[in-house]
Amino acid sequence: MTLWQGRFGGSKQSEELLAFTESLSFDRRLANDDITCSRAHVLGLQRSGLLSPEEAGELLAALSTVEEEIAEATFVFKPGDEDVHTAIERRVTELTGDVGGRLHTGRSRNDQVATDLRLFTKRSLVEVGRGIIALQEVLLNRAREAGDAYLPGYTHMQRAQPVLLAHHLLAHGWALARDVDRLAATRRRLDVSPLGAGALAGSSLPLDPDWVARELGFSARFENSMDAVSDRDFVAEALFDLALVGTHLSRLGEEMVLWSTEEFGFLHLDDAYATGSSMLPQKKNADIAELARAKAGRLIGHLTGLLATMKGLPLSYNRDLQEDKEPLFDAVDQVERSLAAMTGLMATATFDTQAMARAADTPSSAAADLAEWLVQKGMPFRQAHELVGAVVRDSFERRVPLPELVAAHPALGSDAVALLEPGVPVSRRTSPGGAGPGPVASQIDRFAAVLRADADRFGVPKATATGQHPARGGAHQHGSRGAGKDVHGTGKEHAGTGQAGLSEIGLPDTGRPENGTAETGTAETGTAETGTAEAGTAEAGTAETGTAETGPPDAGPPEAG
């Protein structure tokens, strides 16, 4: 069955055309979103007088039957089904007869698929955000556990200055916080319903896109019908956000790969989150971290591929846009799996803080402290930098221990030698946002406040959003050496469709705490309407279920609500 056979009379399309243009193999993942979209459309048609209450009731009952069949994996996709929209309409028509022919009144697959995909993306970005927050919670817990443990900080992959382990872990946490913010912003921008735009120019029928938008839980309807059916900016933005999440996971993964090597020895992987070798009995490999590193390239490829597809498209809809779904589906899946795996790895890994301290305690790592000590004595920084650099060079060239040269230097002396003692340099990092005990203690509190606010706006249950859960790995398997100070830190369902509105799942427009406070901001308006069901809407309020059909599974958790 096609939805356009009338134009072609009795002509039969070639097998090559059908095989090349079909999308059912992947867009069946939108089945429940398509049913949600169709429910709202039916209610809108009834409200506009284009369907009687009895006809609307029949269609809604049939849509619920289809939903149940999909959930139970008994829905039969037939060879003639071009896509998921065709399959669902065909089955509704089988169940209702001629009434099924009214389901597509006033809409095109162009506005239909655009609406389905926005519903999917809205839900998926929330789930990804929750996954990021779970990893951030682990990083915060491990930072609190780390106490005064320290390690070398690196620039150019060369040891630079000692930093607290907590500071290093939270550097990744702050990058992920920006990812959460981007997801919320992208979701806010895509919260516009295209339904009612038709093929490209709207309709002569008395449709009410504003009402349908509210019924679907969108904050607004489209402003321009041509833009509505051709816009895939939201997919590109989502792919960018996901690619950047993947990039941040890749960077974290790269460090875990390095830290777990014998050359570094900073970290020991839990057996449950490591693999072995088929040939080398001694191996314990950081495959999760390596794959997180590799997935970033895949995610970047999805983004660049879609942008290349979009760049030459004239208005309005073109079949090229069929290529928007597979990269989006795969990006969501890969990021969710990467987040879950990296969260487990980080929660269970054991840090060898003695190895970290040994690497950080080389005297030359205090070179900047020597220069700043001279500045405090009145010497211009550039002169101090040159003096200390010459002393370090002399130590390397003559193989004389740096403390001896510092003690003998007339501008330095024994007082300066004390700066080279283990643990002293990191304790001197006192500037706000710095890597020392005082700034890090404040940073932990500020990060916890941001995390609580983001957990609130992404609907993370309070019990899991405190950032207080103990990680399963050992923070100090081999003990730690002091750094001068301990830094332990002190929706409802939318009636009629099963879709949750923006404010209903806790995604306000803003909500980040200011100055480290835990204030969560004001919820975004325009999406909390409950939408009283019209007559003949016995299926109103049926919660959306996960797609259970055959083919690519929906790896994401069920929708909030």
Q: Dig out the tokens for 463 from the structure.
A: 């019990």
Strands 220-221 and 267-268 turn out to be unpaired
Contact indicator for 222, 192 with CB cutoff of 8 Å:
yes
Whole-angstrom distance, CA of residue 559 vs CA of residue 546: 8
User: Can you count the helices (H) and strands (E) in the chain?
Assistant: 19, 6
Which helix (H) or strand (E) segment holds residue 457: the answer is helix 437-457
Which helix (H) or strand (E) segment holds residue 116: the answer is helix 109-146
Closest by alpha carbon to 76, among 95, 102, 59, 57?
A: 95
Residues 6+ away with beta carbon under 8 Å from 279 = none
Which helix (H) or strand (E) segment holds residue 34: the answer is helix 31-47
Q: What amino acid is encoded at 208 in this protein?
A: D
Q: Is 409 a catalytic residue?
A: no
Whole-angstrom distance, CA of residue 187 vs CA of residue 125: 7
Whole-angstrom distance, CA of residue 178 vs CA of residue 245: 9
Q: Is 277 a catalytic residue?
A: yes
Q: What amino acid is encoded at 373 in this protein?
A: W
Q: Dig out the tokens for 299 from the structure.
A: 């995610």
Report cis status (omega within 30 of 0) of the bond before 316. Answer: yes
Whole-angstrom distance, CA of residue 552 vs CA of residue 30: 11
Give DSSP secondary structure letters for 345-379.
HHHH-EE-HHHHHHHHT-GGGGHHHHHHHHHHTT-
DSSP annotation of 419: G
Q: What share of the chain is helix, strand, coil (3-state, %, to 5)?
A: 55, 5, 40
Residue 279 has a CB neighbour count (10 Å cut-off) of 6
Burial class (CB in 10 A: 0-12, 13-18, 19+), 425: buried
Instruction: Check 277, 414, 431, 488 and give the catalytic one.
Output: 277
- At residue 228, the 3 state secondary structure works out as helix
In the numeric block, the tokens 């080398």 are attached to 280
Burial class (CB in 10 A: 0-12, 13-18, 19+), 392: middle
Q: Dig out the tokens for 382 from the structure.
A: 């550039």
Whole-angstrom distance, CA of residue 332 vs CA of residue 327: 9
Instruction: Check 14, 156, 204, 278 and give the catalytic one.
Output: 156
Residues with active-site annotation: 156, 277
